[in-house]
């Protein structure tokens, strides 16, 4: 697992030294909708797809885990709703398939070759998740979009990102957020909040920092997969992270 970094030829012909060669990107469903909105917003979809293309153009192997929070989260089903929580989780997973198909078409419209693999079989819309096939797609230069999370209720797509990263031997999990990394407090609400540049997995767990689900952090720790938390809002950020620029917050083993 974890191949060494190498120089790759950017699709515009220039040489670029990538820090990571096989990358899992986790984007939340909220990244696909307008602030405070629901569903899929054309502008946001275009922005995310453009950013993903900049990484694909580096020639690195890129897989994307798409969330579904812009559609439904099982954990947020109202207590008095006739919809059971477990059903809500399945609905959430299906929501991620809707998002994955949108991202697929947006990328393909930009000339990026993709495959969607779903953890819940929806054979008419996309492939089912098969680890070896996913790796083969990556080796052929296709962006693989993982849909339907883990296929199991009561977890989130963060856990899916850590799981798939562990399964395919990814060098890093890129966790795209609205803010530029992990802060001491919510920077939107607290102007004194400061950014934490580097953290160990243990610090994240012990300080209960809201980076990703604890199960996801723990799985990355077990498999020594670094996590970079960064803002997707800033154009060029994702590409810069893959090239090794010190953007966002790096979570890894303590030095």
Q: Report H helices in 57-189.
A: 85-109, 131-139, 157-168
Using CA atoms, how far residue 22 sits from 121, 137, 246, in Å, is 25, 12, 18
Q: Which is nearer to ligand UDP, 21 or 90 (CB)?
A: 90
Q: Does 142 contact ligand UDP by CB under 6 A?
A: no
Give least dist CB 77 to ligand UDP, A: 9
Query: Residues 58, 160, 176, 229: which binds ligand UDP (CB under 6 A)?
Result: 160
Q: Does 226 contact ligand UDP by CB under 6 A?
A: no
Query: Residues 92, 181, 226, 248: which binds ligand UDP (CB under 6 A)?
Result: 92
Query: Residues 20, 57, 60, 89: which binds ligand UDP (CB under 6 A)?
Result: 89
Separation of alpha carbons 191 and 110, rounded Å: 39
For the chain, what's the residue count?
A: 255
Token couple for 8: 């790759």
Q: Does 74 contact ligand UDP by CB under 6 A?
A: yes
Q: Does 75 contact ligand UDP by CB under 6 A?
A: yes
Q: Which is nearer to ligand UDP, 62 or 163 (CB)?
A: 163
Give least dist CB 98 to ligand UDP, A: 11
Q: Which is nearer to ligand UDP, 13 or 82 (CB)?
A: 82
x-or-dash string of contact with ligand UDP, 94-113, rule CB under 6 A: -xx-----------------
Give least dist CB 121 to ligand UDP, A: 15
CB-based burial of residue 135 (10 Å sphere; 0-12 exposed, 13-18 middle, 19+ buried)? middle
Q: Give the CB-side neighbour count of residue 1, counting CA atoms within 13 A.
A: 16
Token couple for 100: 């994955």
Query: Residues 49, 150, 166, 237: which binds ligand UDP (CB under 6 A)?
Result: 150
Q: Does 117 contact ligand UDP by CB under 6 A?
A: no
Instruction: List Cβ neighbours of 111 (8 Å cut-off, separation of 6 or more).
Output: none
Give least dist CB 191 to ligand UDP, A: 26
Separation of alpha carbons 8 and 62, rounded Å: 14
Q: Which long-range contacts (CB under 8 A, 24 or more apart) does 72-81 make?
A: 73/156, 74/153, 74/154
- Chain residues that interact with ligand UDP, rule: CB under 6 A: 28-30, 67-69, 73-75, 88-89, 92-93, 95-96, 149-150, 152-153, 155-160
């Amino acid at each position: 697992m974890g191949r060494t970094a190498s120089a790759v030829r950017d699709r515009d012909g220039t040489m670029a030294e990538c820090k990571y060669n096989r990358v899992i990107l986790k984007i939340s469903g909220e990244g696909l909708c307008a602030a405070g909105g629901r569903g899929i917003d054309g502008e946001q979809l275009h922005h995310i797809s453009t950013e993903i293309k900049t990484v694909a153009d580096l020639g690195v192997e890129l897989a994307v885990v798409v969330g579904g929070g812009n559609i439904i989260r099982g954990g947020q089903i109202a207590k008095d709703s006739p919809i059971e929580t477990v059903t809500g989780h399945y609905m959430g997973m299906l929501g991620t398939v809707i998002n994955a198909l949108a991202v697929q078409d947006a990328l393909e419209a930009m000339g990026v070759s993709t495959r969607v693999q779903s953890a819940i079989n929806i054979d008419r819309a996309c492939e089912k998740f098969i680890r070896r096939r996913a790796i083969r797609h990556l080796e052929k230069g296709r962006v693989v979009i993982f849909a339907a999370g883990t296929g199991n209720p009561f977890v989130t797509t963060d856990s899916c990102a850590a799981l798939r990263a562990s399964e395919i031997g990814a060098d890093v999990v890129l966790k795209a957020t609205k803010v530029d990394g992990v802060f001491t407090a919510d920077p939107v609400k607290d102007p004194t909040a400061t950014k934490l540049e580097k953290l160990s997995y243990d610090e994240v767990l012990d300080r209960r920092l809201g980076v990703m689900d604890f199960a996801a952090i723990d799985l990355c720790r077990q498999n020594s997969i670094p996590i970079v938390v960064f803002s997707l809002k800033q154009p060029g950020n994702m590409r810069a992270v893959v090239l090794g620029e010190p953007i966002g917050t790096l979570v890894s083993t303590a030095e």
